[in-house]
Structures are given as C-alpha cells and as structure tokens.
Structure 1
Amino acid sequence: MGIVLQDGLYKVEFHTVHGTGTGVIYACGGKLRGGNSAFAFIGNYTDKGDCIQARVTTERHNPDPAFKPLFGIDMITLTLKGADNGSMIDFEGTALQLPGVTFKAVLTRMAD
C-alpha cells in the first residue's frame, strides 16, 4: 500500500543546520496551507504511491525582526519528498534558493 497524505490539520516540526521551527499546515485536495508566528506556508503536494512530493513557498507576514528566517531569507521555495513513518510523515528536501542546505520536516496529524 502506498503512502497517502490524508486531508486535515498537521503539526509541522522542521529543521536545517541553521536551526529549528514549528508551525501548522492544512492538507486538502493537493493543497498545503499553513504557517507559524512569522511566515505563511503555501504549496501543493502529489501522492506518488511510494512517496509524497511537495512544493512549499514561505512568505513573511510578521515584520518583527525577532523572528529569523530559517534559511536567512524571507521567501524560499522548498521541494520535498515525504515518506510514511507510522503516525507521522517525514519530509526531506532543499530550498531552490540554497540547494546545498538539507531541510527536514515531520508532519503529525492533529485533526480532520
């Protein structure tokens, strides 16, 4: 059986060598929408059977400089591949703007 990203609200925990962050993201019908205290997460995903492919762009919505961007710039586009890990989905990928920096995220389903 292949991996499927169920529609619903997910907690997202993510990190790079530069730091960590958390937020929420809602998956529905191939779209991803979410954010945290400083950034909106906007993207889409496709279930490929053995993995989930996603593309997510960040956009700053809070001008407070205390909230530092994880990649050092406010707007990035991530290309990610997700794999099933029991009750969670592990994603790994890179930002198009900084291809040498690995990005990892774990999505944990919270609600429908």
Structure 2
Amino acid sequence: MMREGIYSAWFKTPRGQGTGIVQLTAGKVCGGDGVLSYSGSYEAHGERFTALIRTKRHAPGQPSLFGPDELTLSLEGCCRATSFTCSGRAAEAPDVPFEAFLLYSSPDNAPPPAPRPVPKFNPEQLPKPSWR
C-alpha cells in the first residue's frame, strides 16, 4: 500500500543517474531536483501503481538524463510500506529506459528515536602507543 508523503528519489537511465524529492498526495505528484521540476498524477491499487509525470527545467545546470528537458514519463511499479520501485519511458525519448527507487521520508512531527545510554568514557580502554 502506497503511503502519502515525501519521498527521496534515486533514478537512473543508461545516460546517468540522479536524485530528487517527490511528494505524493491524493493522486498528485510534485517534486524536483536541482534543475528539473516534476508534476503529474499517480494511481495505486494494492502493491501496484502507475504514474504519469511531466518534467520542466527550472534552472541551468546538468543535462537531463533523457536528452530533452520537457517530457512526459509513464511509470509503473511496486510499492511497499515505505519504499517503492518503478520503471518506464518518456514519450519524447522512447529508446531511453528509466528506473527509480523511492524511499519514504519521516514527517517533521515524527517522534524522535528513543534515547540510548551514553557509554562512560574510560581512557584506560584506549589503545596504547607502541613506542611506550
């Protein structure tokens, strides 16, 4: 089951790889990376999902992993509780396969991890120099 929220994205094509941030909420996709913005829609059915994402350049920088900056990417994949994988192609670059892995990011209001005991510092346990 797909979880709504913000995901860290790692993606690749034969031309290279990159990272970005994607937000999935109520069937809508938005996000981006250092040079491209992403927008579109998704549908989830159990552990399977499909997405249609459009990209647009918002800043100068490295070239797109597809060639063209503005394109429409069709994706399908498998979602788990906090991650999912997908693959697809862009209509504008059909010969360039695309793969992505998305990992759910905990919300800012998530409770902090339980405190762990701090070990007591004991200088006697430090390694001794060989020249002593």
- Give the Cα separation in 2 of the matches to 1:30 and 1:83: 16
Structure 1: stretches of 5+ with no match in the other structure: none
Identity %: 32
Q: Choose from 77, 81, 102 the match for 1:82.
A: 77
1:49 Cα deviation from its structure 2 partner: 2.7
3-state SS, counterpart of residue 69 of structure 2: coil
Closer, same or farther in 2 for the Cα pair 1:67/1:101, shift >3 Å? same
What is the letter of the counterpart of residue 83 of structure 1? C
3-state SS, counterpart of residue 111 of structure 1: coil
Closer, same or farther in 2 for the Cα pair 1:85/1:100, shift >3 Å? farther
What is the letter of the counterpart of residue 10 of structure 1? Y
Structure 2: stretches of 5+ with no match in the other structure: 108-132
Q: Choose from 24, 29, 43 the match for 1:27.
A: 24
Higher relative contact order (CA 8 A, sep 6+): 1
Query: Which stretches of structure 1, 4 residues or longer, exceed 4 Å deviation after superposition?
Result: none
- Give the Cα separation in 2 of the matches to 1:82 and 1:48: 11
**Structure 2 counterpart of 1:105:** 100
Q: Tell me which structure has the larger Cα radius of gyration.
A: 2
* TM-score calculated relative to the size of structure 1: 0.88
- Give the Cα separation in 1 of the matches to 2:97 and 2:106: 28
Aligned: 1:51 with 2:55: no
Answer 1 or 2: which has greater strand percent.
1
Over aligned residue pairs, what C-alpha RMSD do you find? 1.4
